[in-house]
Amino acid sequence: MSEEDIKKILKENNLPERCIGCGTCRTQHKDLRDVICPSFLDRQFMDYTLQGRMQIYRALLNGDLEWDKDVAETFSYCTLCGNCAEQCYLNDTDGFKPIRAYGADILQSIRFEIIKRGLGPESGEILIKSMRNNNNPYTGSRKMRTRWTKDICKNDKSLIKDVNKEDAQVLYYAGCTPPYNAPVRCIANSTVSVLNKLNVDFGYLYAEEVCCGSTVRRMGVEEEFQRVAKLNIAKFKEIHEKRGVDTIVTACAGCFRCFNKDYPEVEGYAELADEVEFKHVVDYLYEKYKAGEWEPTKEVDMKVTYHDPCHTGRHLHRYPLGSEEEDQSHSVYEQPRELLNAIPGLEFVEMTRIKANSLCCGAGGGVKTDYPDFAVNTSMRRIDEAEGTGASSIVSICPFCHVNLNDGAKSAKKDIPTYDLMQLLDMAL
């Protein structure tokens, strides 16, 4: 949603005034009595909960409190996982949707104001400058984006088509994290390997790929998000019309969420969405698996548990007006689990907190950049949950979760690595 859209929704739905301060956002975990707010777990202070933040924001709106760095930090020190709003008990009242219908959007809207007032985290300025200069948040040059493809295509350039020049049905959108972050380059490599093994007609944008804008939007930098989103929409239209692309797949949860929830509010998206589908590559492969087009055949001798990313789960819930139940059909919950269970030799066990109630890994909302200790502390809590299942490894479908959970295991000195599901599917083919 745009800044204007969110402000309108907050006003029309009487938010945050409808928060009654009951505290379920902090401690209620559906049927499980457990703390779920990452920032409260880290700070152990009421200001760092949705309940506390709503009280602070009301005071700011009423003029009882003035903006300063300390106030702004209570809103920046948040992964925007949306678990707090997911737990809220307030249902439809007088035609208003429940608070949980807006999830992370409530807190994200306040970040727009923080940025405008110049009160955002200092490290964010480096990221924003990199976006403006390089079209990525990692301070790497635009030329660096394609280096990961060189070893793959060394002997056969047809393994990754250049969709700027060649026709393809599918665009693989790698995103920024695998190309610029060496520890997760394996995700891009495995994705390309699997697509080739299944004879998918796909291409890549190479140096023409531009960041989806997810990170800057979570940080509240709306102008920069709109810029890159419009660049992407124009490029996607071009390759649809000239190269026949009708499906865009990504292995990044943040890009997937951004394309499906943020882009619909950007000018020009509606026309594109009528012609092109945006899918997480796991969902794309799952559909082909259910259609009987492929199946994993090689044994993978591992005992694993699965971590649900916030961006493929809660962030994609829908809330039809008049219904107390959310529509979770847009979220990627069952698909990875079915694929894991289909891999020969693999034993799959669940953690206690899963799907809509999954505990955040700690990397989202700009926290990994601005508050790295907070991010790792949060990931170590998830590592402890995973270890409690008896699993030897964690599987997820998000590069940020991949990085942060592995960082958490390293900090905790625990031998429980996180793999991307694409890596396991590659092993199983």
Residues 326 and 400 in one domain: yes
- Among candidate residues 83, 116, 149, the one where a domain is terminated: 116
Per-position pLDDT tens, the chain of length 429: 555 665 666 666 666 677 788 888 887 655 556 888 999 999 989 899 888 998 898 898 888 999 999 999 999 999 999 898 888 877 666 666 667 777 677 788 888 888 888 888 777 788 888 999 999 999 888 889 999 999 899 989 899 999 999 999 999 999 999 999 999 999 999 999 999 999 999 999 999 999 999 988 888 888 899 999 999 999 999 999 999 999 999 999 999 999 999 999 899 999 999 999 999 999 999 999 999 999 999 999 999 999 999 999 999 988 776 566 778 989 999 999 999 999 999 999 999 999 998 999 999 988 998 899 999 999 999 999 999 999 999 999 999 999 999 999 999 999 999 999 999 999 999
Residues 104 and 140 in one domain: no
Residues 314 and 383 in one domain: yes
> Residue 11 is part of which domain span?
3-116
pTM of the model: 0.93
Residues 301 and 284 in one domain: no
- Among candidate residues 288, 314, 340, the one where a domain is terminated: 288
**Cα(288)–Cα(285) distance, integer angstroms:** 5
How many domains does the structure of the chain reveal? 3
Residues 271 and 157 in one domain: yes
Residues 257 and 339 in one domain: no
Q: For residues 235 and 266, is the Cβ–Cβ distance under 8 A?
A: no
- Among candidate residues 94, 116, 138, the one where a domain is terminated: 116
Residues 174 and 207 in one domain: yes
Residues 102 and 136 in one domain: no
Residues 199 and 78 in one domain: no
Residues 140 and 215 in one domain: yes
Instruction: Tell me the three-class secondary structure of 248-312, residue by residue.
Output: EEECCHHHHHHHHHHHHHCCCHHHHHCCCEEEEHHHHHHHHHHCCCCCCCCCCCCEEEECCCHHH
Residues 106 and 219 in one domain: no
Residues 262 and 140 in one domain: yes
**CATH number, position 327:** 3.40.50.1860
Q: What number of CA atoms fall less than 13 Å from residue 151's CA on the CB side?
A: 9
For residues 184, 185, 190, 191, the Cα torsion angle rounded to the nearest 10 degrees is 90
Phi then psi for 81, rounded to 5 degrees? -70, -25
Q: What is the per-residue pLDDT for 28?
A: 64
